[in-house]
Amino acid sequence: MMSKVILVVLDGLNYKSASINMGYLNALCKENLGKFYSLECELPSMSRPLYECLLTGVKPVLSGIINNKLSFSKQTSIFDLCKEQGLKAGCAAYHWIFELYNKKEFIPFLHRHIEDENLTLPYGHFYYEDDYLDSHLFADGEHLRNKYDLDFTLIHSMNIDDTGHKFGSHSCEYANKTKKVDTLISEYLPIWLEQGINVIITSDHGMTEGKSHGGLSEDETLVPFFTFGSAFSYEDAFIKQDEICGSICEILKINHDKKYNDKILKVKK
């Protein structure tokens, strides 16, 4: 039986901040109600290349999306696979996601809210200001999930990344923004788990004290990876970022040729 999946991407959140500032998520993991891993993001540690990695399972140097100026994906994404195999997928996300997978320039007054089954990514609420409130974003995602009965939902937040670029990863502002989204997630995660949905919470890349990312330091490459739900084993595992897309495909029970991580899944082949 296919299980539904929600992927929450907290842009710019490094592992250190998640490990000391996300009290709710870590409390669940301490009670074996979830699992908290670390993983090293692919390179370059930049947003658009790593959105592509998360959603296609292809490393930036192989996908061709190697910087934030390259807009359109040439790879088979999880949105392609869902559409081809009759599943519903949608997202509440930054407008770069719209451009990557619908392969057209984002125009706010045309594409802010979409419902178009002709598109690869047919259901979406998209924002274009980095400080778009997480409280609004999660409500956007939940609205889409309920309205269209989505099988795969992406919720992508820019708040932590925006704060990191303004104040750095060692700032109280960055820590407090991490705590704030942890509290916000506590309003939604129990609902999702009660409905039998499997949830992954992770980041694309981290952030440095110097208010940037793109390099190889641990602050900008080591990111959190939380799993919640009945599809997950909660076993110790070494996870690669290019295995996330395929692992989601396994949970959704869709045919794919992506790499995936057998260790984190409860049902193994």
Q: Is the pLDDT of residue 161 over 80?
A: yes
Whether 125 maps to a domain, the answer reads yes
pLDDT of residue 1: 57
Do 14 and 215 meet the contact criterion of CB atoms below 8 Å apart?
A: no
* Structural domain range at position 236: 5-263
What are 214-230's pLDDT values in tens digits? 999 999 999 999 999 99
Do 36 and 29 meet the contact criterion of CB atoms below 8 Å apart?
A: yes
Length of the chain in terms of residues written: 269
Token couple for 168: 């750095």
What are 185-207's pLDDT values in tens digits? 999 999 999 999 999 999 999 99
What is 186-216 written as a DSSP string?
Answer: HHHHHHHHHTT-EEEEE-S----TTS--SS-
Total domains in the chain come to 1
What is the rounded CA–CA span in Å between residue 75 and residue 89?
17
pTM (predicted TM-score)? 0.98
pLDDT of residue 71: 86
Whether 45 maps to a domain, the answer reads yes
How far is CA 49 from each of CA 4, 41, 160, 218, rounded to the nearest angstrom? Answer: 25, 11, 18, 18
Whether 97 maps to a domain, the answer reads yes
Do 26 and 19 meet the contact criterion of CB atoms below 8 Å apart?
A: yes
Under DSSP, is residue 226 helix (H, G, I), strand (E, B) or coil?
strand
Token couple for 195: 């409905």
- List the CATH number of the domain containing 12: 3.40.720.10
Whether 92 maps to a domain, the answer reads yes
Whether 27 maps to a domain, the answer reads yes
How far is CA 256 from each of CA 21, 77, 101, 120, 262, rounded to the nearest angstrom? Answer: 36, 10, 17, 16, 14
Whether 268 maps to a domain, the answer reads no
What are 123-159's pLDDT values in tens digits? 999 999 999 999 999 999 999 999 999 999 999 999 9
Whether 73 maps to a domain, the answer reads yes
Whether 269 maps to a domain, the answer reads no
